[in-house]
Amino acid sequence: WTSGYDASACDIEWEIGVGLSAGGPAAIATIESSTAANGFAMIDSDEYGGETGGTCVEDSWIQTADSIDLTGYSNVVLEFETWYRRWNYERPYVVISTDGVTWPELTPDTDISGMPNVFDVFPDFPDATSLDQNPTLKRINISAVAGNQPKVWVRFHWTGTWGYTWFVDDVRVVEQPANDLVTDYAFISHNGTGDEYGRIPQSQLLSDFSVGGGFYNFGYTDQNNCVASLDVVDASSTSVMSATANFAVAMSDSTYEMNEVATPSGVLPLGLYEGTLIVSSDEETSA
């Protein structure tokens, strides 16, 4: 990796090393990535802003030192593990270059809609919010700009003013599969209002539950005859209720949601229950 920053802006730099941690007045936890023990990358906007007063627009990056040859790979995905908390005026980007020289000027206000090689890593991310999981696996489809290219450079570009910290680790470029249904989340809702409880008194147990979840077609081909099935079992792994939803076609790069009503097979005794969401299609048997 090589690093740099806009000399006309702030002089904040990325750090890459072992045992790094965020500093500053509102330091966040260190990334718990798969290979954190051998080092990771970090840009600590909080520490820099605390030291300098946080008045300038930070504009810093790390990028692959050498190009990546993707000749013969039409469908490619950039994967990396990350940990991040957003403050307000900032934007983390991934930028792809095929010459290693041409890079766009970026700020948190840049309109990237006409820049196919620039990807907003956390679009529509609320202010003063952290990712749900440490680490979080991000997958960005870079096929349109990097597919079949003999030379590809990857840049992680930070722009902002006195934010928190952005961690990046375990970066790789992988071939995108044709069939790749991904389950994003599942839910079992007792009252359907969004107000959920870890324990439900038997006297307040309703006759029906709302169950379901979301899935995403990350493959580059459409999936036909998709079936989303959620099964709820008790502590002895006996099914107590289930539901399914059918989708004729799941388009590539599209998200779908299952939301069904399930009725228990009988009176539910005291105990712990677990639900599992499985999504399948003609092309992919399980996800």
C-alpha to C-alpha distances, 151 to 97, 129, 145, 165, 266, nearest whole angstrom: 8, 36, 11, 30, 61
pTM of the model: 0.84
Q: Measured between alpha carbons, how far is 101 from 188 in angstroms, rounded to an integer?
A: 50
Stretch 54-59: mean pLDDT, rounded?
Answer: 96
pLDDT digits (tens, 9 = 90+) for 145-195: 999 999 999 999 999 999 999 999 999 999 999 999 999 889 888 876 767
Compute CA 247 distance to the chain's CA centroid, rounded to the nearest angstrom. 24
Q: Quick one: CA torsion of 198, 204, 208, 210, rounded to 10 degrees?
A: -30
- Judge whether residue 39 has pLDDT over 90: yes
**Mean pLDDT, residues 67-75 taken together:** 97
- Identify the pLDDT of residue 287: 63
Query: Does residue 185 sit in helix, strand or coil?
Result: strand
Residue 152 is given by DSSP the state B
pLDDT-derived band at 216, boundaries 50, 70, 90: very high
Give residue 189's pLDDT: 85
Residue 95 pLDDT > 80: yes
**pLDDT confidence of 110, banded at 50, 70, 90?**
very high
What confidence score (pLDDT) does residue 268 get? 87
- Report the pLDDT value the prediction gives residue 86, as an integer from 0 to 100: 98
**HSE-up of 234 (CA within 13 Å, CB side)?**
13
